[in-house]
Amino acid sequence: MNKGVIFDFNGTMILDSKVQIEAWVAFLSELLHREVTYEEYEKYVYGKINSEVMQHFLDPKMSYEEAEVYGNRKEEVYINMVKEKKIPLADGLEDFLQYLKEHHYPIAMATSAPYIVVRSLYDYYRLDRYFPFEAIIYDHKGLKGKPAPDLYYKALERLGKKAEECVCFEDSASGILAAKNAGVGTICVMDPYDNYPDGYPDKEREYYVLNNFKKAVEVL
C-alpha cells in the first residue's frame, strides 16, 4: 500500500522564504509605522497563520474576519512579488510530483497560507497537473496554525490515511513540530541552503534532511 504524501507549500514546494520576509516586513513596517526586525519575523510570523500574526502585532482580541482583511492585503503584495520575480518550483519537485501521480500515491498539502495564496499560486504553477485543488488544506476559521496539528489532522482525513502511513515535507520549525504532533510517520526537512537553523528539532535522530526533491523518492 502506498504511503500518503503531505506537502507544506511556502518554503517547501517553492523557495520563497526571502520573498515572504520581504513582503511581511514591508507590509508590517508600513502598517505599524516602525521597522519590523528579522527576529520578530522569525518569532511571530514564520509558519504562523495570518490571523495569529495580526492579533500579535495589532490587537490580541481582533476577530478572524478582521485579521483576514489585513492578511489578504499582505498576500496581494506577496503574490505580486512571486510572479514578478518568477520564483520557480523547488528543484526536482515537478519530477517527484509526476512520479507520485504515475504510481498512484495520494497527495495532500497542509499549509498555513490562506485561500487567496493557494488559489492564485495553484493556478500560476499549474499544480492541477498533479493533484486537485481539493487536496489542499489551508488556513481558515476554526483551525489553529502550526505547530498545532490541526492542518495535518485535516490532511490525514482528506487522504484517508493513518499518520504513521504518511510522509511529509516541511521547512519550518513550526511545521516540523505540527507534523510530529500529528504523529506523521516520516518527516522530511527541506534545507536547500545547508543551514539547518538553530531552534529546529534535532535533525540527527528523527528526520530526513533534503536539499531538494531529486532523491525524495528514496524516503517513500
Distance CA 147, CA 106 (A): 23
Mean pLDDT, each 10-residue run in order, the chain (220 residues): 94 92 90 89 82 91 90 93 96 98 97 93 98 94 86 97 97 90 94 69 72 94
Q: In the chain, what are the helix, strand and coil shares in percent, each to the nearest 5?
A: 50, 15, 35
Domain boundaries, the chain: 4-14+88-219, 17-85
Supply the pLDDT for residue 7: 98
pLDDT value for 45: 86
142 phi-psi bin (left φ>0, alpha ψ -120 to 50, beta other): left
Structural contact between residues 185 and 1, judged by C-beta atoms closer than 8 angstroms: no
> 60: cis peptide before it, omega within 30°?
no
Tell me, what amino acid is at 16?
D
H or E stretch at 25:
helix 17-32
Fold (CATH) for 4-14+88-219: Rossmann fold (3.40.50)
pLDDT, position 196: 65
Which pLDDT score, from 0 to 100, does residue 201 have? Answer: 62
- Backbone phi, psi, residue 157, to 5°: -65, -45
Helix/strand/coil for 47:
coil
pLDDT of residue 31: 92
The pTM of this model reads: 0.88
